[in-house]
Chain A
């Protein structure tokens, strides 16, 4: 008894943690903690930190696989300077911005509609949920191919339908404006189901009693939507907006499969231009600089959203 007490005695009153005076037990705990975290750190470093650092380094080099004899000399901001005076870069950026402006709100509006529909008390729920999941689960490039067939000039479903109701067939994929519209429709179709899933999860957290209280308070269905559903859904909408915006900035697969950026470069996005620069033209240095620029734009936009959510107390859960 007495020996146990005497060994425990100095440990028993836990003093305010003086750093150098870490007890052997605490030190062991800390070492074990680092050891257990090490694999995760290494993995993160390997798949996130290293590639990004390598990308940034490459963007400061002249690195063109078509000119291997030039080596990979450091050229400072030359690649960035080249981007600033590259019309095709600005065009691709402008197209990307347009896709963001059209397809992000588009997907949120359509997604909200789908979520409200799926939230109705259907007797059998799974077909509705499956219908929501299918476009989301489909690979992007397949969605692109499917819509390319839909909008095809001579045999496409859309022109077929137009002809049936007596309207002229349209050159969907060869007219710059129509091609842009067709691509936007495909993107909204493909991405709104993900938005709908996020918003459906949000809808299901709204207690039914709020609607009952509102009904007694005299609010009609429309007022209930504006006064309860929409404000309560705001946090979920912000989350959906962030995800949708980031993926919209990176738009690649669907225009790639539908028009490959054509006609001309009229539907080319930044991601497609980067792809062409690095894979087709083998200019890794310039392509990396463009990729870094795109990364910065994404980071700024995301930070903006996050600041917005942090500022508003009601956007956080309760």
Chain B
């Protein structure tokens, strides 16, 4: 087992630079999720850790070894591919045994390890089949089995769940988490799905345009996003972010149509520095509730209901507040109709403020 150190790593394909100097320290035994929209460089970064792509600049170390110039097979890693990359002409057993066989492990040991892994993943009855005879979920398990029999220092997962249907994805997600808890091996996991990122990660690295936006625990990513991008990328439905301006005394924040909202006292000192500059106000849907203000810092306003999306456990309500569209999470028993004007409460103590130009968070 080992941690991974990524030190100012850069990557270019020809003249196009896709990774612009990323620093990332993955601790031993940690599950780190690389997340971001397509084209953000997350898969490239993972493939650089695997050795499938060369490193243009900087340094990658696994454990104490700098692996920049080591071929994939010398890095003691295992990878689960998006399309699983199972060998179609080999049986499940041979697929799982291949890595050990290539490393010259004795037959008896291969047998023990493959059977052990098959038992953990409940695919013991499939060992004689070929990948073509398996369902998507079973192939996924075989791909994981092939990785765990090797007992590598690091597991790399490249969007392993994106070919599964929603229900199966949930099941396998739990499975992966169990595996991590059981083996405690360092895992780097790439996904574009923020739910996967939130549920699996010890820490999340949010990437955008080949740069690291934020590297923090899921809790911090959700509750203390470092930038407007992180704030709106993580969370479903996403945080509503609207342009706004802060009054000179730092006591009020004005939306574009002139609606002025008081800022809770506790937030005023940090906010005041941004007065006079364009800012963006962000509110998570759960902080836009129906009804009158109850707690300190709450502000009640009138809002027009545009669209409702009942989800059973809650109703997502798309509202117009201060001329801007905002999303609220309403309890399901709250009967609202499109076109209706309702009273909603904005939990201003939970607001997020971002610099209007750079998008960076203004300290909470």
Residues in A lying within 8 Å of B, measured CB to CB: 207, 209-210, 212-220, 223, 227-228, 231-232, 234, 313-314, 318
Contacts and interface: CB of A to CB of B under 8 A. Distances in A.
A313 B81 CA distance: 25
A217 B152 CA distance: 10
B222 interface: no
A207 B99 contact: no
B85 A213 contact: yes
A213 B156 CA distance: 12
Contacts of B229: none
Given A218-B99, A219-B73, A213 B89 contact: no
Contacts of A207: 83, 85
Interface string B73-101: 10001110111011111000000001100
Nearest 9 Cβ contacts at the A-B interface: A217-B99, A209-B85, A218-B102, A213-B85, A218-B73, A318-B132, A231-B89, A216-B72, A215-B72
B88 A217 contact: no
B98 A217 contact: yes
A227 B99 CA distance: 12
21 contacts: A207-B83, A210-B85, A210-B87, A212-B85, A213-B85, A213-B87, A214-B87, A215-B51, A215-B52, A216-B50, A216-B52, A216-B73, A216-B78, A217-B98, A217-B102, A217-B146, A218-B99, A219-B73, A219-B98, A227-B87, A231-B89
Interface string B250-279: 000000000000000000000000000000
A232 B89 contact: yes
Interface in B32-90: 50-52, 71-73, 77-79, 81-83, 85-89
A213 B140 CA distance: 14
B87 A228 contact: yes
A210 B77 CA distance: 16
B51, B77, B87 pick with most chain A CB within 10 angstroms? B87
Interface residues of B: mostly helix, strand, loop or mixed?
Answer: loop
Interface of B: 50-52, 71-73, 77-79, 81-83, 85-89, 98-99, 102-103, 130, 132, 146, 150
A213 B79 contact: yes
A241 B81 CA distance: 34
Nearest to B80: A213
Interface residues of A: mostly helix, strand, loop or mixed?
Answer: helix
A1 to B, nearest CB: 38
Contacts of A215: 51-52, 71-73
Contacts of B82: 209
Nearest to B132: A318
B79, B85, B103 pick with most chain A CB within 10 angstroms? B85
B98 A214 contact: yes
Nearest to A217: B99
Contact of A318 (B72, B83, B88): B88
A217 B88 CA distance: 15
A223 B103 CA distance: 11
B52 A212 contact: yes
Given A216-B77, A231-B89, A209 B102 contact: no
Given A212-B81, A213-B79, A219 B89 contact: no
Contacts of A213: 79, 81, 85-87, 146
Contact of B98 (A209, A227, A231, A318): A227
B82, B89, B103, B132 pick with most chain A CB within 10 angstroms? B89
Given A207-B85, A210-B87, A231-B89, A217 B73 contact: yes
Nearest to A210: B85
A173 B86 CA distance: 52
Contacts of B83: 207, 209
Contacts of B77: 216
Contacts of A218: 73, 99, 102-103
Contacts of B130: 313-314
A216 B72 CA distance: 5
A210, A215, A216, A234 pick with most chain B CB within 10 angstroms? A216
Nearest to A215: B72
A209 B72 CA distance: 13
Contacts of B89: 231-232, 234, 314
A218 B82 CA distance: 19
Contacts of A223: 102
Nearest to A315: B89
A220 B103 CA distance: 11
Nearest to A232: B89
A232 B90 CA distance: 10
A228 B50 CA distance: 20
A232 B98 contact: no
A318 B134 CA distance: 12
Contacts of B71: 215
A216 B73 CA distance: 5
A210 B89 CA distance: 11
Contacts of A217: 73, 98-99, 102, 146, 150
Contact of B102 (A212, A219, A231): A219
